[in-house]
Amino acid sequence: MKILVTGAAGFIGSHLAERLAAAGHEVVGIDCFTEYYSTALKRLNAEDVRSHGVTIHELDLAADDLSRAVRGVEAVIHLAAQPGISDHVSFQTYVRNNMEATWRLLEAVKSQDSLRGFINVATSSVYGAHATDDEETAPKPTSYYGVTKLAAEQLVLAYHRDKALPACSLRIFSVYGERERPEKLYPKLISSILEGREFPLHRGSDRHSRTFTYISDVLDAFEAVLARLDACNGEILNIGSDIEITTGEGIALIEKIMGRRARLAIKPPRAGDQLKTRANIEKARRLLGWEPRVPPEEGLRREVEWYESRIYGRVAI
């Protein structure tokens, strides 16, 4: 199958492009290498991806001509987005990179007769402060990120309803693992411990609970969807671990793995943060036969090993 992966130099996209290429698919990637986080890390990811035979087009979904990149694709997995909750990113940037980019991609692929499935990648942030219910629950996002990702999801599903575009959307819960973005909890914590720096922790966030989902489990879910495109057409699916731990417990696991304590520096609470996520994955189990398998301690051990061997002292992030 010819598959287009957007955000192919990012955390999830780079792993997915490699996995699909290894499975024998013809994989084409798009990434615009924005400076939201270290381009050096994304270039390193892209080098690894290209070594698997994947072509990556350096394009801006919100501005550039996409016709060459989408030609003949049978499936699109749309991961590219303006991620995260940040006071330094304007609402207009979230709109451009999440909504306008998605609209332009849809316009580019809608005329491709070869298209069998458009897999939109959404987020648990669409649910809001408490993300614990099933896909029928009314979304209540509390951040620009959650609002614009929900709008992008509904735009994809509108093309499905109005234009018969074969599409579905996966709401992903707190993915972690090798190549994770530097500003995320675990890479930032690992880096601070290795360098002996203080780790900034927003007040009360140690009690926030998450179903952290290891990267390989998410990749398994994507492959399961690709194998069942007809069954997933028009559907929304939660994808995440059902093992719930608090941020404080996650920090303690990293400290145990590394054998060193973090120097915590308590900061004011962060607006828009989720308080509790627990992925309700009964629908994914039923439709995909999918099950998350990697427990938090094992996944975090792999992430620490990657950071120490590939990043620390080698890549400026």
- Which active-site residues does the annotation give? 145
User: What one-character DSSP code corresponds to residue 177?
Assistant: S
Q: Is the dihedral of CA 14, 18, 23, 26 positive or negative?
A: positive
Tell me the C-alpha distance between 284 and 228, whole Å: 11
- Report yes or no: 11 and 181 within 8 Å, Cβ to Cβ: yes
Q: How many whole angstroms from its chain centre is CA 155?
A: 19
Tell me the C-alpha distance between 117 and 231, whole Å: 11
Q: How many CB atoms lie within 10 A of CB 40?
A: 13
Q: Count Cα neighbours of 41 within 13 Å in the Cβ-side half-sphere.
A: 22
Q: What six digits make up the tokens of 281?
A: 């994955």
164 burial (CB, 10 Å; 0-12 / 13-18 / 19+) is exposed
| Residue 303: its H or E element | helix 296-306
